[in-house]
Amino acid sequence: MRTKASDKKLNRLSTILEIITNLGTIASWVLGVGSAYLLNVQKTPVVVPGINFTLDLGFQFALLISAMLGYIHFLQKYWERNVDKLKLSNSFIDFSFWDIPRLNQPLLLIPIVMAFAIFVQVSIKSYWLLGIFLSFLVLMGYFIFQRFRYHLSPTRNYERLAENWSSSTEWIEKWARRIRKQLSLNIGVAESDLYEAGMPKSETSRVEIVFALHKYFEKYEFEDDLVLIRLNDLHYLHPWHLYDSYDWVLMPRKNLELRRNTS
């Protein structure tokens, strides 16, 4: 009972500290963006008395950059806390340039929209600040484009399938039985041997079969002394050698030495 009570107190303290940290991060962001905005709307540049330091456009731009760095820190902590709970992307880069642009967490865009408006307001008064701001936008657009191109590509779809297959014990056992059966009947098992009746010969089916061969090889390579090789890489006298085939074949290592009778 005491242990449970102590755990509750620790969890409550952790939550309170987390809230305080978040409030501090948000306050620093609001202070930076708000100060930049207030300085920008002044009709005459603000000068710090005593040291004669002018809070000009460069200083305002630096405030905005500092505020955005604080917001990036907040996003990083937010991602670390919620990556599993909210099923966010597995990397912070993907979270920033894939999840957020897709409005997966739309409220997180509010500070970005506000900062963008003030960045424009500050930058249009100076050509060199405008150049820096546009460079940032181009760089951000490039990263977003790259993440979208990757996630929407067939390669990423196959990676997702592979992740699902790897986590499915039923799938692994099903293909292990098929491969083991073919190995018991032939000198090896090629991709074409694993197509079953009614199985479409599509690229997805081929990827599944190749992935199954690699998973089986990974698990039983040393136990069964297996090799995984392409048909065109076999010795030219090997019974299964095909010059124009890049299909994978799995076989016991001893069967690599087989040769056709050329007499």
User: What integer pLDDT is reported at residue 230 of this predicted model?
Assistant: 92
Confidence at residue 228, expressed as pLDDT on a 0 to 100 scale: 93
* Mean pLDDT taken over the chain: 80
Please choose, from the candidates 178, 113, 101, 110, the residue with its C-alpha nearest in 3D space to the C-alpha of residue 145. 101
Closest by CA position to 214, among listed 231, 187, 242, 191: 191
Taking residues 114-129, report their average pLDDT: 81
pLDDT tens-digit readout, 141-176: 999 999 999 888 888 888 888 888 988 999 999 999
Min mean pLDDT across 15-29, 151-165, 219-233, 248-262 is at 15-29
pLDDT per residue as tens digits for the range 60-119: 787 788 888 888 888 888 898 888 888 888 889 999 998 989 888 888 888 888 888 888
Specify which of 25-39, 45-59, 121-135, 146-160 reaches the highest per-range mean pLDDT.
146-160
Cβ pair 239, 187 in contact under 8 A: yes
Higher pLDDT, 47 or 115: 115
> Could you tell me if 188 and 249 are in contact, meaning their C-beta atoms sit under 8 angstroms apart?
yes
Check residue 8 and give its pLDDT: 55
What is the C-alpha to C-alpha distance for residues 57 and 133, in angstroms, rounded to an integer? 13
So what's the pLDDT on residue 36?
59
The reply to whether the predicted model has a pTM over 0.75 is: no
User: Collapsing DSSP states into helix, strand and coil, what is residue 124?
Assistant: coil
pLDDT of 223 > 50? The answer is yes
